[in-house]
Each structure stands twice: as C-alpha cells, then as structure tokens.
Amino acid sequence: MKRQAVNVLTVVIIAVILLTGGILEEIYIANTLDGFAEKFVEFEKTETESGYDIGKLEEIYSWWETRHKALEMLIPHTQINEIESTFGELKGAVRANDTKSAHAFIVRLQLTVEAMADMYVLRIGNVL
C-alpha cells in the first residue's frame, strides 16, 4: 500500500513538473515573439526620406540574438532560420536604402512571427 502511494505521488509530481514546464515554455515563446513583432511595428515608424534607421535595426537584432538561442531549444530550427534569413535580407535592404524592399521584409517578418506565435499557443487545434 505504501509503495502505491509513493508511485502515485511520483506520477503526480512528474505531471506537475511537465505541466509547469509546458506553461512556462508557452509564456516564454509568446512573450518573445510578441516582443519581436512589437519592435518591428516601432521600427517601421523610423522611416524617413533617407530610409530606415540602421542603428535601430541593429538594436532589434541584438535583442533577437539574446533570445533566439533559447528559442532554438523550444521550436524547430527551420522556423528560426527563416526569421534569420529574412532579417539578413532586411538589413541589406536598409543599408541599400531600398525602402520598398525593406517594407516587404518587415511585413514578412511580422507575418512569420505572428504565424509562429499562433502555432505554439495552447489550444485544441494545436494539441490534436
């Protein structure tokens, strides 16, 4: 009888740990991706006649660099690589003062991040 109680307690503790880890993972992913999307909304406002502010873009990239390493443990690398390559294209467009292309890359990043955030939210469609 005592052994069964220990087994049940062990299962409950493991379940609580897994559930807590899943909740914390979801919160981290959502906060990171939402913050990233917000930074691009702000970045879009830096457009002037001479183009976008490359310094602000470098700040966003530094912010992303500190967080994407943790994301690599939680989500597939291909999705992070898509963001990285689009970010590189955005940097190139901003440096070339190609505001039309830069705007397209900003929208692409925003939509990619939004789609990723939707994929990792806890809801019945994602569980099934």
Confidence of residue 1 (pLDDT cuts 50, 70, 90): low
Q: Report the distance separating Cα 125 and Cα 11, nearest Å.
A: 27
Determine whether 110 is exposed, middle or buried from the number of CB atoms within 10 Å of its CB (0-12, 13-18, 19+): middle
Q: Which residue has the higher pLDDT, 77 or 123?
A: 77
Burial 67-105 (b: 16+ CB within 10 A, else e): ebeebeeebeeebbeebeebbebbbebbeeeebeebeeb
pLDDT, one tens digit per residue, over 3-45 is 787 788 898 899 889 888 888 888 888 899 999 999 988 998 8
Confidence of residue 125 (pLDDT cuts 50, 70, 90): low
pLDDT of residue 79: 85
Angle between helices 54-71 and 77-95 (to 10 degrees): 170
pLDDT of residue 25: 86
Q: Report the distance separating Cα 17 and Cα 29, nearest Å.
A: 18
Domain boundaries, the chain: 25-127
SS (H, E, C) 90-112: HHHHHHCCCHHHHHHHHHHHHHH
pLDDT, one tens digit per residue, over 53-107 is 899 999 999 999 998 888 888 888 888 899 999 999 999 999 999 999 999 999 9
Is pTM, for the whole model, over 0.85? no
Cα separations in angstroms, 20 against 13, 14, 69, 99? 10, 10, 21, 44
The total of other beta-carbon atoms located within 10 Å of residue 125's CB is 8
pLDDT of residue 74: 85
pLDDT of residue 9: 87
3-state SS, residue 114: helix
